[in-house]
Amino acid sequence: MSDLLANLNPPQLQAVTLPPVHALILAGAGSGKTRVLTTRIAWLISTGQVGPHGVMAVTFTNKAAKEMTARLSALVPINVRGMWIGTFHGLCNRLLRAHYREAGLPQTFQILDSADQLAMVKRLLKNLNIDDEKYPPRELCHFINAHKEQGVRAGQAEVYDHYTQKRVEIYAEYEAQCNREGVCDFAELLLRCFELLQRNEPLRTHYQQRFRHILVDEFQDTNKLQYAWLQLLAGGGARLFAVGDDDQSIYRFRGAEVGNMRDFERDYCADNIIRLEQNYRSHGNILAAANAIIKYNRERLGKNLWTDAGDGEPIRAFEAYSDIDEARFIVDEIRELVRDGVPATQCAILYRSNAQSRVLEHELFTKGVPYKVYGGLRFFERQEVKHALAYLRLLGNPDDDTAFLRVVNFPTRGIGARSLENLQAAAHQMNSSLYNAAASLTGKAGQTVGAFIRLVETLRQETEKLPLPEIIEHVVEKSGLAQHYRLEKEGQERLENLDELINAAATFVDDEGAIGEGGALASFLAHASLESGEHQAGEGQEAVQLMSVHAAKGLEFDIVFISGLEQGLFPHENAVSEGRDGLEEERRLMYVAVTRARQRLYLSCAQTRMLHGQTRYCTASSFFDEIPEELLLKLNKKAAAPAPTWGGYAAASSEPVAGGLRVGQSVEHAKFGLGVIVATEGRGADARVQVNFGGGAGMKWLALEYAKLTPV
């Protein structure tokens, strides 16, 4: 036990060992909030104040939940499996699975991710003959989700003009369709769970009595409904322990309310607010930059972060000619760091928009650097994986129209658009699922769609008794998916992903705790919808971490690259156009990004960038100006880059080694001093040379484009 508390500073210790009261820990980035929360759980359990059964912990990502579980099992000798530690979505999903009947859901209900939701809304508009230019599907999704996040059903929505009236009608149709299909979108998981607990008194009392301690990380990003859900669960005397940082509130667009922190103070614990001010994560210069940036925001609750870790290195700033050039710079730096012994997993590349990852991924891929993308086009969102999952979903729930439409004609079975339109019309008229309506089709459509229905039935029978990984293997093979990709020119990678899906299922079933009510298949499908690429290829392998700034919240890395720091991209133009509030939210995002770094931080921007199919000419982000100049080290490497010619770097690539350098040539390097080239490799923009710098720096491989070598 003393071990448990040994490495805490006084306010941390105070927070961990608070008596059973409601408490708010309000503290800046890297001050140990998550550590305090985890240690408190361990302390409560090991002092016998509560059993693992009586604790609920809400984390922000699945990755964080896993880390917390792992840390907990290292701290106390208990079985952490089956503990209620997870995200809001994950915990609600679990509760709904356990009580699906009371919640009015089929046992194997499926979760619609945002792409599925969009597809469903589009389909609905088509069925209802509504002009999707007047009512853009994306906006409708936003409208629906925003209402659900406020706890408002279609029947209760406020109608103030004709346009909204129509949107509310579509919302109502959407709800009805989801109920018919037995599917839930993300927001629905929460709302439905909330309503279930509110309506069902015995169930509510059961959980209220069960959870004695409810702990919430990243509290600043909870929305109104999540807060109400917590209040409901804590209604039986549970103690709420919330940790958060108002400066890291970055989900306003999703309805998060920093106001919840003030409400929490008012509703629960005016007396138990603890502030942590020492930062244990970042070196001084990084922290100074973060503090300098966030200072520009108004209306902060106010915190003063300090560290005794020393200033550390300056912050490296790099301005590239183009996004490709920027990616090259980042990847080359990483290769050098890895060569010097930095683990690749400790290098993170962050970006504001997921679309930015493509160029970075391409560069990492061509240079053979293993990497892993969190969020964005995630493993479970890849086309082939979604196809396989759709077949699996149909096995569990044939009424899932989204899954049905995804694979009814994939691989192609000669089912035309016309047949599908007829089928949709019939289903609409019969008020049934597409699957059920198929029997009413006649003629050729009846035959082709009928064959598909038989295929699904056969698959179901054949896989009934198989373990999960074999179910998937069987379905991938017998549905024709595998064969389809075998014949496709670029299909190899897709086949590998399908294999990886089987691997993911195998890992999943090994973890018995992961399998809940409804069996392995339903649990796995729920996991696939909820998780962001955490089982993707190469789990456990050393890999560079790529993610959006949003996805990086709560995480830390030795080396962080923040890329695309350009006006309009970061800060994002949409936010900037909203005025001051928008810009402040972007600034909090930048604060989150900067505070992820432990030892070294790189900030980069490009003068031109391809985005959404267009070349944009960019200026550097205003955030550069908010960082005191003396903290920055400008890497003026572009001087050594070939002058950009029309068409990129084609001109340079015709030479064997750029700059006329050859083996034996003496050179001077700004940092390493004098040396002699001993080997060369690659061509043009990819050219690298190995230089012997003698006793000081020794042998180094350097990318010619960036290394600023002067022949002497």
Active site residues: 33-34, 217-218, 248, 596
Q: Which x/- pattern, by CB under 5 A, does the window 313-332 give for Mg ion? A: --------------------
Instruction: State the nearest-atom distance from the C-beta of 6 to ligand ATP, in Å.
Output: 9
61 binds ligand ATP (CB under 6 A): no
8 binds ligand ATP (CB under 6 A): yes
Give Rg (Cα) of the chain.
Answer: 28
Q: Which of 188, 138, 116, 173 has the alpha carbon at shortest distance from 401?
A: 116
Helix boundaries (H) for 234-322: 259-267, 284-294
426 annotated to a ligand binding site: no
622 binds Mg ion (CB under 5 A): no
32 annotated to a ligand binding site: yes
458 annotated to a ligand binding site: no
Instruction: State the nearest-atom distance from the C-beta of 32 to ligand ATP, in Å.
Output: 3
7 binds ligand ATP (CB under 6 A): yes
Question: Binding partner of residue 35 among Mg ion, ligand ATP, none, CB under 5 to 8 Å per kind?
Answer: ligand ATP
14 binds ligand ATP (CB under 6 A): no
Range in contact with Mg ion (rule: CB under 5 A) among 443-451, 546-554, 653-661, 663-671: 546-554
Range in contact with ligand ATP (rule: CB under 6 A) among 1-9, 370-378, 434-442, 613-621: 1-9
Element (H, E) at 702: strand 699-703
Nearer to Mg ion, 34 or 422 (CB): 34
Instruction: State the nearest-atom distance from the C-beta of 33 to Mg ion, in Å.
Output: 5
Site residues for ligand ATP, 529-588, by CB under 6 A, read: 554, 556
Could you say which DSSP state residue 553 is in?
Answer: T
33 binds ligand ATP (CB under 6 A): yes
Query: How far apart are the C-alpha atoms of 144 and 138, rounded to whole Å?
Result: 10
Element (H, E) at 22: none
Instruction: State the nearest-atom distance from the C-beta of 554 to Mg ion, in Å.
Output: 4
Instruction: State the nearest-atom distance from the C-beta of 272 to ligand ATP, in Å.
Output: 18
Which residues on adjacent β-strands are paired with residue 666? 676
List the structure tokens of 245. 């940082």
31 annotated to a ligand binding site: yes
Could you say which DSSP state residue 566 is in?
Answer: B
List the structure tokens of 278. 């020492």
Among 18, 26, 34, 95, binds ligand ATP (CB under 6 A): 34
Nearer to ligand ATP, 9 or 599 (CB): 9
State in Å, rounded, how far the first CA of the chain is from the last one: 64
Number of H helices and E strands in the chain, helices first, is 28, 21
Relative orientation angle of helices 323-339 and 357-366, to the nearest 10 degrees: 50
Among 554, 582, 675, 684, binds Mg ion (CB under 5 A): 554
Name every residue whose Cβ is closer than 8 Å to that of residue 237 and which is 6 or more positions away in sequence.
208, 212
Pairing of β 544-548 and β 371-374: parallel
Q: Which of 9, 20, 4 has the alpha carbon at shortest distance from 54?
A: 20
34 annotated to a ligand binding site: yes
Q: Which x/- pattern, by CB under 6 A, does the window 235-254 give for ligand ATP? A: ----------x--x------
32 binds ligand ATP (CB under 6 A): yes
Please report where in the chains the tokens 């907990």 appear, as a residue.
Answer: 72
Instruction: State the nearest-atom distance from the C-beta of 2 to ligand ATP, in Å.
Output: 15
3-state secondary structure of 435: helix
Which residues on adjacent β-strands are paired with residue 680? 689
Please report where in the chains the tokens 């210790």 appear, as a residue.
Answer: 13
List the structure tokens of 143. 């409208």
Query: How far apart are the C-alpha atoms of 606 and 327, rounded to whole Å?
Result: 10
73 binds ligand ATP (CB under 6 A): no
Contact between 385 and 379 (Cβ < 8 Å): yes
Which whole-number Å values give the CA distances from 278 to 10, 333, 386, 488, in the listed order?
11, 30, 45, 56
Cβ-in-10-Å burial (0-12, 13-18, 19+) of 633 comes to middle
Query: How far apart are the C-alpha atoms of 346 and 248, rounded to whole Å?
Result: 22
Range in contact with ligand ATP (rule: CB under 6 A) among 28-36, 140-148, 150-158, 202-210: 28-36
Among 12, 31, 34, 402, binds Mg ion (CB under 5 A): 34
Question: Binding partner of residue 245 among Mg ion, ligand ATP, none, CB under 5 to 8 Å per kind?
Answer: ligand ATP
Total residues contacting ligand ATP (rule CB under 6 A)? 19
30 annotated to a ligand binding site: yes
673 annotated to a ligand binding site: no
Cβ-in-10-Å burial (0-12, 13-18, 19+) of 552 comes to buried
Instruction: State the nearest-atom distance from the C-beta of 626 to Mg ion, in Å.
Output: 24
Query: How far apart are the C-alpha atoms of 236 and 418, rounded to whole Å?
Result: 56
Nearer to ligand ATP, 154 or 250 (CB): 250
Site residues for ligand ATP, 595-614, by CB under 6 A, read: 595
282 binds ligand ATP (CB under 6 A): no
Range in contact with ligand ATP (rule: CB under 6 A) among 26-34, 81-89, 390-398, 690-698: 26-34
Provide DSSP, 462-499. HHTTS-HHHHHHHHHHHTSHHHHHHHSTTHHHHHHHHH
Question: Binding partner of residue 12 among ligand ATP, Mg ion, none, CB under 5 to 8 Å per kind?
Answer: ligand ATP
- Minimal CB distance residue for ligand ATP: 32
3-state secondary structure of 569: strand
Contact between 18 and 215 (Cβ < 8 Å): no
Among 24, 26, 29, 92, binds ligand ATP (CB under 6 A): 29
Could you say which DSSP state residue 705 is in?
Answer: H
Range in contact with Mg ion (rule: CB under 5 A) among 28-36, 162-170, 374-382, 590-598: 28-36
Nearer to ligand ATP, 36 or 530 (CB): 36
- Minimal CB distance residue for Mg ion: 34
* Half-sphere CA count of 232, side-chain side, radius 13 A: 21
List the structure tokens of 133. 């230019």
Range in contact with ligand ATP (rule: CB under 6 A) among 5-13, 468-476, 484-492, 633-641: 5-13
Nearer to Mg ion, 33 or 393 (CB): 33
Nearer to ligand ATP, 60 or 84 (CB): 60
Question: Binding partner of residue 280 among ligand ATP, Mg ion, none, CB under 5 to 8 Å per kind?
Answer: ligand ATP
532 annotated to a ligand binding site: no
Binding site for Mg ion (CB under 5 A): 33-34, 554
Annotated binding site: 27-34
Binding site for ligand ATP (CB under 6 A): 7-9, 12, 27, 29-35, 245, 248, 280-281, 554, 556, 595
Annotated binding site for ATP: 27-34
